[in-house]
Amino acid sequence: MEDIGFIGLGIMGAPMAGHLAAAGHRLFVDGRHRVPADLLAGGARVCADGAAVARAAPTIITMVPDTPDVEAALFAPGGIAEGLTAGKLVIDMSSISPLATRAFARRVAALGCAYLDAPVSGGEVGAKAASLTIMAGGAEADFERARPLLARMGRTITRVGEVGDGQACKVANQIIVGLTIEAVAEGLLFAARAGADPARVREALMGGFAASRVLEVHGERMIGRRFAPGFRIELHQKDLDLALTSARTLGLALPNTASTQQLFSAAAALGGKGWDHSALVRVLEHMAGCALGGGAGEE
């Protein structure tokens, strides 16, 4: 069973690494950061730094918050690049800039190693259940090499194209999800203000062309006032910032993405950086002076 290096043992990374360990893979992790007790109990080997992780394993996975974090994990002193030797594979499962991803891949390729970007969708629930959607970019041979590992962590695994295309797909996913959350919030708030029961409106809409996973899950969250985070607003802000920054570089206008990002920023200003992204509805309620049920801000 192949040894795996894993950098980034946070809310999502820890259960993802746990699935690999449960499948029999020996894990090597960076001891400069907290290592969950269950991974240590399962036999994870603690290394001095990312370079030592890369020296110990033929495949190294990163799962960290943002583009600068990936760059640091790879190229900072004591980073993964210092421990790479020809033939190793780096899989970045973070959600970061597709343009930066291509630059990182070129630097890794210069060391004789392969690079795959494989961001995920599904949040903490999907990470724990090993049901993530994984969107990969890279050479087909590298994808096939990684597929058995990805299959331990996700359910729907797709090679979208070449390096960077997985990240482009993830950004597109976050644009669509964010804008759909905003649309669901507006629609349900309109129905409530017009005197209709938003729960019954949602039920009716689920049988028509407006049906979506966002209406199903996040519409129910909005009506039930359950905003404990599955995916935090501050993380969706980060992803839409990736979209808007990349769009400027590409000379592309994304007007509705920009307006939705402003609503997320308003939610953060109201103290909601840590709310679930479905709590975007609270901003619209605040602006309208009414709520879907109870008072705006009710849990």
Helices (H) and strands (E) in the chain, counts: 14, 9
The three state secondary structure string of 201-215 is HHHHHCCCCCCCHHH
Cβ–Cβ under 8 Å, residues 77 and 51: no
299, part of any domain: no
**Does 175 lie in the same domain as 155?**
no
Same-domain status, 8 and 147? yes
**Under 8 Å CB-to-CB from 121, ≥6 apart: which residues?**
132, 133, 135, 170, 173
Where does a domain end: 163, 190, 212? 163
d(C-alpha 262, C-alpha 281), whole Å: 13
Residue 43: inside a domain = yes
Residue 119 tokens, joined: 């961001």
Task: Specify the DSSP class assigned to residue 26.
Answer: P
For 26, residues 6+ apart whose C-beta sits below 8 A from its C-beta are: 1, 3, 4, 43, 45
- For range 179-186, the mean pLDDT: 98
Confidence band for 139, pLDDT divided at 50, 70 and 90: very high
pLDDT over 90 percentage in the chain: 93
| Residues 124 and 266 grouped into a single domain | no
Domain limit, last residue, from 163, 196, 228: 163
Indicate if the pLDDT at residue 293 is higher than 80: no
Domain containing 180 equals: 168-288
Residues 154 and 223 in one domain: no
Q: What is the pLDDT of residues 20-56, one digit of tens each?
A: 999 999 999 999 989 999 999 999 999 999 999 999 9
114 and 172 part of one domain: no
Measured CA to CA, the distance from residue 29 to residue 52 in angstroms comes to 9
Is residue 9 domain-shared with residue 149, that is, in the same domain?
Answer: yes
Q: What does R_g of the chain's alpha carbons equal in angstroms?
A: 21
Pull the structure tokens for residue 286: 């605040």
CB 53 within 8 A of CB 78: no
Please enumerate in sequence order all residues whose Cβ is within 8 A of that of 148, keeping only pairs 6 or more positions apart, or say none.
none
For the chain, what is the domain count?
2
Report, as residue numbers or ranges, the catalytic residues: 170
Q: What is the mean pLDDT of the chain?
A: 95
Task: Tell me, yes or no, whether 136 and 208 share the same domain.
Answer: no
- Domain of 89, CATH number, reads 3.40.50.720
125 lies in the same domain as 141:
yes
- Residue 215: which CATH number? 1.10.1040.10
List beta partners, residue 7.
62
pTM: 0.89
Question: Residue 62's pLDDT is what?
Answer: 98
